[in-house]
């Protein structure tokens, strides 16, 4: 049972630490209501994101978590506002992003009627701005983000977007094989299930299906091999 817990912890740690986000959302906590609307809109079309809602614990390494999330995100969406310009944390996130990512991967989205201050205007001098008036969150912004991520905007219309269909990544079989049978192959199965989910969120359905099938097959092999080994051991003791 202890080995099972170790394997499960390792597998889920792997999933978290190797998660590839589509979007990192940089914003001021004072603009959380708008940030929540953006998150809901991205959720509706299957775009994955990292957003700090103040849930990072005091004992955790805040700079490391934020920097890793920026590096492991395809795009950075900057919710530009008077509050954001004044936030030292937002400044650090944006300037760090410019060090680690291509300029085109950082998207300023102005959510109030203020203008970019000189320091932000300087770093975004060759970037096309978007604003909440001309690019509503639930329609134009979502379509733009899908296009920037290289995806189609099918299902986005009339201000609402269709949620992606449910997808079986094989995680149930994987966790069952790991927890119940203490087989290291279960860990391998969990990893394939995580990869399947990531591929699905990227709209790479053929790859997702392949990984999911592999996850289930490996889990079944783990279960069968453990049962077979138990039978052999019992028989040898007679």
CA-nearest of 162, 170, 26 to 95 is 26
User: Backbone phi, then psi, for 156, in 5-degree steps?
Assistant: -100, 110
The predicted pLDDT at position 203 comes to: 62
Cα(171)–Cα(222) distance, rounded to whole angstroms? 14
* Cα separation values, 58 from 29, 65, 90, Å: 17, 12, 19
b/e per residue, 51-69, with b = 16+ CB within 10 A?
A: bbeeeeeeeeeeeeebbeb
64 Cβ neighbours under 8 A, 6+ residues apart: none
Its pTM stands at 0.58
Instruction: Give Rg (Cα) of the chain.
Output: 22
* Residue 56 DSSP SS3: coil
* CB proximity list for 111: less than 8 A, separation 6 or greater: 31, 34, 79, 80, 81, 131, 132
| Average pLDDT per block of 10 residues along the chain, 238 residues long | 47 49 94 94 90 64 85 94 94 93 90 89 81 89 89 52 56 77 78 81 71 86 84 76
Which candidate, 159, 126, 128, places its Cα nearest to that of 143? 159
Ordered by where they begin, the domains of the chain are: 20-161 (3.40.50.10140), 166-237 (no CATH)
- In degrees and rounded to multiples of 5, residue 138 shows phi and psi of -75, -10
């Amino acid at each position: 049972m202890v080995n099972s817990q170790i394997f499960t912890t390792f597998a889920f740690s792997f999933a978290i630490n190797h998660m590839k986000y589509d979007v990192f959302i940089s914003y001021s906590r004072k603009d959380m209501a708008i940030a929540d609307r953006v998150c809901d809109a991205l959720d509706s079309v299957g775009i994955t994101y990292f957003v700090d809602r103040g849930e990072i614990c005091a004992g955790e390494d805040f700079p490391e978590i934020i920097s890793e999330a920026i590096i492991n995100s395809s795009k950075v969406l900057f919710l530009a506002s008077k509050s954001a310009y004044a936030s030292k944390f937002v400044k650090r996130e944006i300037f760090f992003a410019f060090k680690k990512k291509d300029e085109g991967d950082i998207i300023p989205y102005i959510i109030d009627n203020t203008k970019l201050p000189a320091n932000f205007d300087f770093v975004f001098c060759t970037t096309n701005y978007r604003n909440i008036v001309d690019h509503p969150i639930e329609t134009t912004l979502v379509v733009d983000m899908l296009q920037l991520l290289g995806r189609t905007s099918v299902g986005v219309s009339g201000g609402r977007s269709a949620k992606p269909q449910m997808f079986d990544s094989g995680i149930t079989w994987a966790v069952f094989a790991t927890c119940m049978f203490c087989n290291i192959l279960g860990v391998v199965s969990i990893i394939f299930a995580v990869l399947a989910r990531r591929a699905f969120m990227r709209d790479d359905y053929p790859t997702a299906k392949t990984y999911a099938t592999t996850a289930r097959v490996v889990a079944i092999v783990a279960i069968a091999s453990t049962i077979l080994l138990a039978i052999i051991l019992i028989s040898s003791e007679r």
